[in-house]
Amino acid sequence: MIKVGITGQEGFLGKHLFNYLGLMEEVELIQFKKNYFKHPANLEEFVKTCDVIVHLSAMNRHKNPQIIYDNNIKLVNQLINACETTNSTPHIIFSSTSQEKSDNLYGKSKYDGRKLLEEWSIKNNAKFTGLIIPNIFGPFGNPFYNSFIATFSYQLTHDESPVIDNDKKVKLIYVDELIIKIYNDIIIKYSQREKSKLIEEIKINHTAEVKVSKVLNLLYSFKENYFEKGIIPDLNNTFEKNLFNTFLCYIDHASFFPFHLKKNSDNRGSFLEILKLNSGGQVSFSTTASGVTRGNHFHTSKAERFIVIKGKAEIVIRKIGTKETHTFLMDGENPSFVDMPIWYTHNIRNVGDEELYTVFWINEMFNPDIPDTYHKEV
């Protein structure tokens, strides 16, 4: 069991990494709180407890760039001081940026911080890994702070109009792709600690290189087709699937769902278009007895839709790591659907007296070797 702590675990990358590592049996997560940097005793206890520390705490934006630099260097020095005060030598993994050599104080703070940790590593014979990371995007990033994709997605789902300041090609990596690389480095490198180099610099390759205008055009297509018509876009392209899952997380779920469908009825019965998609996947049908609950699980990458066509249902979703829930009451007399955001545990319960009929769509065929289904009570 490897004890892993993440400074900045409440930030964008930190939350994703914390949630992902929480699924791994080999890892025991050590809780970190932001105020530890204000309380040396707490920080010292934290570093003593950890086998591995992923140092993510940093400031990205401020009107005064010098404040960014001073803050980030101060955090590195505080981490080093805590380790030296307690004679602790955890394997420190440091998140740096591809902007290290750019002409800005944020990039310089990352480069200088990495060099300070390398000096600590040599002085104390401690393992250190510096990760050089391209631009990250993914669900739950803060708009106007973490990435332009977070900003554009938020604006398009809240009736705002994005503006491109610089239409350049951007090298990107999806947050899940990055945390899998970090996980592999933690597990493999730590287990081979005696064999591996004392100091390693790992350049994380980008997984997509796209112009800002192309990203915005894709997001506009998601808004037009999905947000306004309920049509699932083509998800065969990995980047576009990741972008779509990111876009979905900025929808105001409480007001958007359930999405009502058009029911055509005559003396023969009724006809309902339940799913329009530009990609494949798997469609399933289920019946559920009165009072029965299905689900109580979440996915980390799958796009999924629940469509109630007969009976009365209650769908409840909750974002992992939070207590807030959203509840949707649905009735087959007024057919509707709810899409399940990734990293939201969810269930569906028959709250009526008759049998409940539900159609389920998911963007990929079920693979028992990689089920991407994690049980967690809503």
User: What average pLDDT does the segment 157-178 reach?
Assistant: 96
**DSSP label at 195?**
T
Evaluate whether 335 touches 243 at the Cβ level (below 8 Å).
no
* Angle subtended by helix axes 40-49 and 65-85, to nearest 10: 60
pLDDT at position 192 is 66
User: What average pLDDT does the segment 127-138 reach?
Assistant: 95
Evaluate whether 105 touches 143 at the Cβ level (below 8 Å).
no
Measure the CA–CA gap between 113 and 364, rounded to whole angstroms: 42
Question: To 5 degrees, how large is the angle CA 93–CA 203–CA 126?
Answer: 30
Quick one: pLDDT band at residue 157, thresholds 50, 70, 90? very high
Evaluate whether 131 touches 94 at the Cβ level (below 8 Å).
yes
pLDDT at position 270 is 65
Q: Burial code of 203-238, b = ≥16 C-beta within 10 A, e = fewer?
A: ebebebebebeebbebbebbbebbbeebebbebeee
Any idea which residue has 């929808």 for tokens?
251
End-to-end CA distance of the chain: 28
Q: What percentage of the chain has pLDDT greater than the value 70?
A: 97
Q: In what order do the strands lie in the sheet with 374-375?
A: 325-331, 312-319, 344-350, 293-298, 374-375
Quick one: pLDDT band at residue 269, thresholds 50, 70, 90? low
Q: Give the CATH number of domain 252-375.
A: 2.60.120.10
pLDDT at position 188 is 72
Q: What percentage of the chain has pLDDT greater than the value 90?
A: 79
pLDDT digits (tens, 9 = 90+) for 192-208: 666 668 999 999 999 99
Residue 185 has pLDDT above 80, yes or no: no
pLDDT at position 99 is 85
Q: Burial code of 21-52, b = ≥16 C-beta within 10 A, e = fewer?
A: beeeeebbbbebeeebbeeeeebbebbebbbb
**DSSP label at 187?**
I
pLDDT digits (tens, 9 = 90+) for 15-44: 999 999 999 999 999 999 999 999 999 999
pLDDT at position 271 is 65
Quick one: pLDDT band at residue 231, thresholds 50, 70, 90? confident
Other CB atoms within a 10 A radius of the CB of residue 351 amount to 16
**DSSP label at 99?**
T
pLDDT digits (tens, 9 = 90+) for 333-364: 999 999 999 999 999 999 999 999 999 999 88
Phi/psi for 223 (5° steps) reads -65, -45
Evaluate whether 302 touches 374 at the Cβ level (below 8 Å).
no
Quick one: pLDDT band at residue 229, thresholds 50, 70, 90? confident
User: What average pLDDT does the segment 239-262 reach?
Assistant: 93
Quick one: pLDDT band at residue 311, thresholds 50, 70, 90? very high
CA-wise closest residue to 327 among 349, 303, 307, 342:
349
**DSSP label at 341?**
-
Quick one: pLDDT band at residue 144, thresholds 50, 70, 90? very high
Measure the CA–CA gap between 235 and 185, rounded to whole angstroms: 29
Domain boundaries, the chain: 2-142+169-210, 252-375
Quick one: pLDDT band at residue 238, thresholds 50, 70, 90? very high
Q: In what order do the strands lie in the sheet with 208-211?
A: 135-137, 169-174, 208-211
Quick one: pLDDT band at residue 55, thresholds 50, 70, 90? very high
- For 156-160, 173-177, 236-240, 299-303, which range has the lowest pLDDT when averaged over its residues? 236-240
User: Which three-class secondary structure state does DSSP give residue 43?
Assistant: helix
Quick one: pLDDT band at residue 280, thresholds 50, 70, 90? confident
Tokens of 152: 């554009």
Average pLDDT along the chain: 92
Residue 8 has pLDDT above 80, yes or no: yes
- Residue spans of alpha helices (H) in the chain: 12-21, 40-49, 65-85, 105-124, 148-156, 175-184, 190-191, 212-222, 238-248, 253-256
Evaluate whether 219 touches 243 at the Cβ level (below 8 Å).
yes
**Whole-model pTM?**
0.88
Query: For domain 2-142+169-210, which CATH number applies: 3.20.20.450, 3.40.50.150, 3.40.50.720, 1.10.287.130?
Result: 3.40.50.720
